[in-house]
Structure formats: C-alpha cells, structure tokens
Structure 1
C-alpha cells in the first residue's frame, strides 16, 4: 500500500469514528432524557396509587376473577 492510500484510509476511519462518536453522544443525551421521563411517570403513578386511598396498590391487587 502506498502512502496516499494509507492516508485516505486513515481519513476515512477518522471520519467514521467522529460520526460514531456523535451518534453515541446523541444517544446518551436521549437515554438520559428518557430515564428522567420514566422516573417522573413512576413518581406520578405512585402518587395516584397513594391518592386512591386503597391499602393495596392497584398493581398488587388480585384480578377480580381470582
């Protein structure tokens, strides 16, 4: 392989590496956002179960056909 081919290949690999790094950074931001939303929804749902006044949360109750 001559020097030009090696430099072209290296440039291509650097670009692919940068693209992948950007993708991973965006995914990390998105995952963090989704984790915050899930936590918020779980807190909201826990508040609803508590506000209903039942001694057993709805998720832990047996279905009526049992």
Structure 2
C-alpha cells in the first residue's frame, strides 16, 4: 500500500468518524431537550399533587387499599 492509498483510507475514516460525531451530537441534543421537557412536566405534576394533598387532606390514591381488600 503506497502513501496515496493510505492517505485516502485515512481521509475516508476521518469523514466517517466526523459523520458519526455529528449524528451523535444531534441525538444528544434531542435527548437534552426531551429530558428538559419531561423534567418540567414532572415538576408541574409534583406541584399539582402537593396542592391537591394540601387542599383535600385525603389519603393519596396510591396509598389507598383496593376495594376488594
């Protein structure tokens, strides 16, 4: 293998790796947006549940016994 063929192989490898890095960067950015969105929703749900518990004073549904017990 001469220097020219080796240089072509290295350029192809670099191009491939650059594409993979770009693709992974897009995935990470999308995941970051999704995590931020889900975190906001969880925060809102927690606030809503805290307000409901403060107002009602009832046993949370998750802690109630099923009707067949």
Q: Assess same fold via TM > 0.5.
A: yes
Query: Is residue 34 from structure 1 mapped to residue 38 from structure 2 by the alignment?
Result: yes
Which one scores higher on RCO, CA 8 angstroms, separation ≥ 6? 1
1:43 paired residue number = 47
The offset of 1:57, in angstroms, is 7.2
Provide the rounded CA distance (Å) in 2 between the counterparts of 1:53 and 1:13. Answer: 58
1:52 paired residue number = 56
Q: Which runs of 5+ in 1 are unaligned?
A: 61-66
Q: Aligned-residue CA RMSD in angstroms?
A: 1.8
Provide the rounded CA distance (Å) in 2 between the counterparts of 1:9 and 1:53. Answer: 64
Bigger radius of gyration among the two = 2
Contact 1:49 1:57 in 2 (8 A): yes
Q: TM-score, normalised by structure 1?
A: 0.79
Count of matched residue positions in the alignment of Structure 1 and Structure 2: 65
